[in-house]
Amino acid sequence: MRPQKINDQELLMGLMSVLSSKGYDGASLNELAESSGLQKASLYYRFPEGKKEITSAVLNFVNEWIKKNIYLLLSNHSIEPLVRLHQVIKNINTLYNNGDAICILRALAMDTGVEIFGAQIKESLQLWIKGFTSLGTDIGMTEKVAKENAFLVLVQIQGSLIVSRGLGSTSIYKTTIKSVEEMYRT
Amino acid sequence: MRPQKINDQELLMGLMSVLSSKGYDGASLNELAESSGLQKASLYYRFPEGKKEITSAVLNFVNEWIKKNIYLLLSNHSIEPLVRLHQVIKNINTLYNNGDAICILRALAMDTGVEIFGAQIKESLQLWIKGFTSLGTDIGMTEKVAKENAFLVLVQIQGSLIVSRGLGSTSIYKTTIKSVEEMYRT
DNA sequence: GTCTATAGCTAGATAGAC
DNA sequence: GTCTATCTAGCTATAGAC
């Protein structure tokens, strides 16, 4: 029982960055190993089922991150709604490197990825929507309007990440983030 | 000089569908050949530089499609603005199979694809934006507002495609299309 | 211009030393 | 628990018949 060279958190963060930027098919085990600081064979020790298990573990990690940093925070009634939003926006900016990153959920939502990881992707998106719906009702929106706005936030942020990447500039991401903040200003 | 078994248009359409749903790394030459109705070696006859040339040709095809079915149509002053919009929406619905397809521009906008095809992706996105900006100014928006709305249309449609795929339902795509139509109702 | 067959390589995955 | 070395399958790409 040797000590772990790399702990789970570091490991998953490295793996996530490769899966996000390259996608499931594009991420090779060599790259995944390199980014995580382990050799291929060691990755198989940590994830015996290989690439599928690696990806699934990363998606669980992402799901936990979203739960903690978006969903639970937006549902936390002991914090002022606009303060929650402000903190969540900061977290989202960190997650997406201020618009310069590819969302792993979209990277994996190709034919290959959806077939295998569809349920996990859906779960994360739903957490996101539930969080923003909660925020909306807390500032006085009806359930219906709050849900519509929550979808709009998700749609616009995902879309702005695509367009930012396609145009090679994060300015539309930044504009979009500002307009999201406006949506909840009372 | 044998006759071509498959013409360029059919060929490119088949290739596009695989590249859209699988992405650049995920699309194998075997799949590309199968979807196009030719054998691998025949694909190399048509595209001597291989997968890169195939993808580049498909992106040119997409660019021409967008130019004709979105940009030029939206800029056609001899048609009523709202009629142009209506027709363009129909074309977009066809392109994206009413929300059930993956946009090839987003499929290729991963690290691997952007590095090689970034300029072509950017060109198509800019055509889209220019078209909707034209529509906006024609119904009385200032240049600034028209451009903001054009970005919003692109961002929302791209985002709604992602979320539709992630949730396994096209309903948010359809809602988004309706709200786009609303944006230009005078 | 399209095909079958195959070369050469890199992918995912495993064996076994330490 | 991590490593080096290696297996096999599938990949991109090519050769050469028709």
CATH number of the domain encompassing residue A73:
1.10.357.10
Beta carbons of A22 and A108 less than 8 angstroms apart: no
Residues of A in contact with B156 (CB under 8 A): 155-156, 159
Distance B60 CA to C7 C1' (A): 32
In a domain, B126, yes or no: yes
Nearest to A106 by CA among B17, A95, A136: A95
Report the percentage of chain B scoring pLDDT > 90: 98
pLDDT surpasses 80 at B1: no
Strand C bases near protein CB (under 7 Å) are 1-6, 10-16
Measured from Cα to the C1' atom, the residue closest to D6 is: A41
Provide the domain limits for residue A155: 55-183
d(CA A79, CA A77): 5
CA A49 to chain centre: 23
Distance from CA of A19 to the nearest CA of B (A): 10
B40 touches strand D (CB under 7 A): yes
Q: Determine the pLDDT at residue A2.
A: 86
Q: In chain B, which residue's Cα lies nearest the Cα of A23?
A: B110
Please judge whether B21 and A110 are an interchain contact, meaning their C-beta atoms are less than 8 angstroms apart.
yes
Interface test with A, best of B59, B153, B165 (most A CBs within 10 A): B165
Q: Which residues contact A41 (CB under 8 A, 6 or more apart)?
A: none
- In the predicted model, what is the mean pLDDT of residues A1-24? 96
Please judge whether A106 and B25 are an interchain contact, meaning their C-beta atoms are less than 8 angstroms apart.
no
Residues of A in contact with B155 (CB under 8 A): 156, 159-160, 162-163, 172, 176
Question: What would the pLDDT profile of B163-185 be if each residue is shown by its tens digit?
Answer: 999 999 999 999 999 999 999 99
- In the predicted model, what is the mean pLDDT of residues A74-94? 98
| Token pair of B49 as six digits | 């530089």
Compute the mean pLDDT over every residue in chain B, rounded to the nearest whole number: 98
- In the predicted model, what is the mean pLDDT of residues B86-115? 98
Distance from CA of A106 to the nearest CA of B (A): 6
pLDDT surpasses 80 at A1: no
In a domain, B2, yes or no: no
In a domain, B1, yes or no: no
Question: What would the pLDDT profile of A150-181 be if each residue is shown by its tens digit?
Answer: 999 999 999 999 999 999 999 999 999 999 99
Measured from Cα to the C1' atom, the residue closest to C14 is: A41
Q: Determine the pLDDT at residue B143.
A: 98
d(CA B183, CA B186): 8
Cβ neighbours, 10 Å, residue A111: 18
| Token pair of B19 as six digits | 């590249």
Question: What would the pLDDT profile of B7-61 be if each residue is shown by its tens digit?
Answer: 999 999 999 999 999 999 999 999 999 999 999 999 999 999 999 999 999 999 9
Distance B62 CA to C4 C1' (A): 33
Burial environment of residue B138 by CB neighbours within 10 A (0 to 12, 13 to 18, 19 or more)? middle
Question: What would the pLDDT profile of B127-152 be if each residue is shown by its tens digit?
Answer: 999 999 999 999 999 999 999 999 99
Count of structural domains within chain A = 1
Question: What would the pLDDT profile of A52-73 be if each residue is shown by its tens digit?
Answer: 999 999 999 999 999 999 999 9
Q: Determine the pLDDT at residue B186.
A: 80
Strand D bases near protein CB (under 7 Å) are 1-6, 10-16
Please judge whether A162 and B106 are an interchain contact, meaning their C-beta atoms are less than 8 angstroms apart.
yes
In a domain, A108, yes or no: yes
Q: Determine the pLDDT at residue B2.
A: 86
